[in-house]
Amino acid sequence: QRLQKQFPKNFFWGGALAASQVEGAATADGKGLTTADALPHGVFEKVEIPPQGDYLKKIAVDFYHRYPEDLSLFAEMKLKMLRISISWARIFPNGDDETPNEKGLAFYDDLIETLRRKGIEVMVTLEHFEFPLHLVTHYGGWKNPKLIDLYMRFVKLLFKRYQGKVKYWLTFNEINVTLEAPFNGVGINRSLDQIDQTEMYQAIHHQLVASALAVKAGHEIDSNFMIGNMVAYSPYYPLTPKPEDVLEAIQENRKTFFFTDVQARGTYPAYMQRYFKDNGINLKITKAEQQLLQENTVDFISFSYYMSYCASANKEGLEKIRGNVISAVANPYLKKSDWGWQIDPVGLRIALNTLYDRYQKPLFIVENGIGANDDLIEVAGQKTVQDDYRIAYHKAHLQQAWEAIQDGVDLRGYTAWTPLDIVSNGVAEMKKRYGFIYVDRNNDGTGTLKRYKKKSFYWYRDVIESNGSAL
């Protein structure tokens, strides 16, 4: 059935990308290696410093050289917003360089200029799961407070350079995912069962401080800037009405709310104080930092949404999802994607309402999509993918987003993950495809890198053109 009503005027229909997963050109024009290069086979695999041999992210989908063609396709798709990230190591190859690498800046100058010429609003993620590897090998990653100053050097440069061109900024991608993948987030190379919790939360604290400093600096440079945070939000439902399961769901959800509470409310929540106390975690948090967090909360909240989870006080014998990394239990009512992620469109309405009830700040869905196995076939002499499953996924989620807007949620935009196929972050595969545009590249690195429009390309264009009423 079709939606009768439109989305709000000026709704940002968009797509989202991340530098390390699309650009390739890993060491071109002076770029330094990053933490993403040190995870050549995925975020839960072995850290390699330096990375050995060939790996997909080295070339990725060659966006560094092919962006003019890709941006033309995005314009043809009628995208109103593109969320990109800027690779810190293209600008400061070691992270602590005194002067920026002009060649790296030139790439983003032209990328941003081209988007603006095409009438596509730019949203920039300042740090999307990668920072210069040198900051791990010489500083120990984010557990070292020195990274705050180095991040600010990078961030202030971008704010000044792209003032008047970029209005929407995100401080850190999925800042909460450090709790699952600490090297990916803060550069601590330890498995979760061996990590020093004080060290991990101190590193997280440094990112939270850096995020608040970015909000402060951004507003000083341009009071029109809209600066947001970004979390991976997979709501937990209690598996049963058993009170212990309900409580467990609250505790699991707080692992995400901790970050949004600090970034949007400006204080460390009481439940975290208890968690730190119970687990012998002693953090250095100064009065000045507390004041900084309090005075520099975000202008809006953004999040990725892919799935929901269940929580159970007694997990024994229950089916787990997403491996052993997190303690999520499968929901018997939901189907799974090819990669085992449980598909839950109504959960997006729940997520939007929950965040809006809690913070009353504007919201952006900055990632939502389905990783799937696609078959490239020929139809009427054209190569394409009949990805009805992808269309069904986005359609169902957008319908729920529309419902949430009717519920009163101030939702400003939706940037789909992703407009074109890219290297997956979690498993570093090409085969796990999200795009509306197919990229001819395979897990073994073979392929022409040619682009082909999938069925979803045309579908998304129609949805955007009708401002949602074609849903």
Residues engaged in binding ligand P53 (CB under 6 A): 18, 21, 43, 129, 173-174, 177, 232, 304, 306, 367, 371, 417, 424-427, 432
Between 100 and 369, CB nearer to ligand P53: 369
Give dist(CA 258, CA 268) in Å, integer: 7
Between 40 and 371, CB nearer to ligand P53: 371
Write out the two tokens for 116: 């603006």
What is the b/e burial string over 378-402, where b = at least 16 CB atoms within 10 angstroms of the residue's CB? Answer: eeeeeebbebeebbebbbbbbbbbb
Exactly one of 23, 130, 174, 289 is catalytic; which is it?
174
φ, ψ at 307 (rounded to 5°) = -165, 170
Q: Let me know if 174 is a catalytic residue.
A: yes
Listed in order, strand segments (DSSP E) in 341-410 are: 363-367, 377-379, 382-384
CA 339-204-428 angle, to 5 degrees, is 25
Output the smallest distance, CB 129 to ligand P53, in A. 6
Under 8 Å between Cβ of 239 and 311: yes
Under 8 Å between Cβ of 147 and 206: yes
Between 21 and 263, CB nearer to ligand P53: 21
Output the smallest distance, CB 199 to ligand P53, in A. 21
Output the smallest distance, CB 146 to ligand P53, in A. 26
Helix residue ranges per DSSP H, 182-237: 182-186, 197-221
What is the b/e burial string over 417-456, where b = at least 16 CB atoms within 10 angstroms of the residue's CB? Answer: bbbbbbbbbbbbbbbbbbbbbbbbbeeeeeeeeebbbbbb
Between 176 and 384, CB nearer to ligand P53: 176
Between 260 and 424, CB nearer to ligand P53: 424
Between 7 and 341, CB nearer to ligand P53: 341
Output the smallest distance, CB 322 to ligand P53, in A. 7
Is residue 435 helix, strand or coil?
coil
Parallel, antiparallel, or unpaired: how do β-strands 377-379 and 382-384 relate? antiparallel
Output the smallest distance, CB 4 to ligand P53, in A. 32
Q: Let me know if 367 is a catalytic residue.
A: yes
Exactly one of 121, 248, 289, 367 is catalytic; which is it?
367
The CA-atom distances, in angstroms, between 88 and each of 5, 19, 115, 132, 155 are 42, 10, 20, 7, 9
Output the smallest distance, CB 155 to ligand P53, in A. 19
Instruction: Show which residues are catalytic.
Output: 174, 367
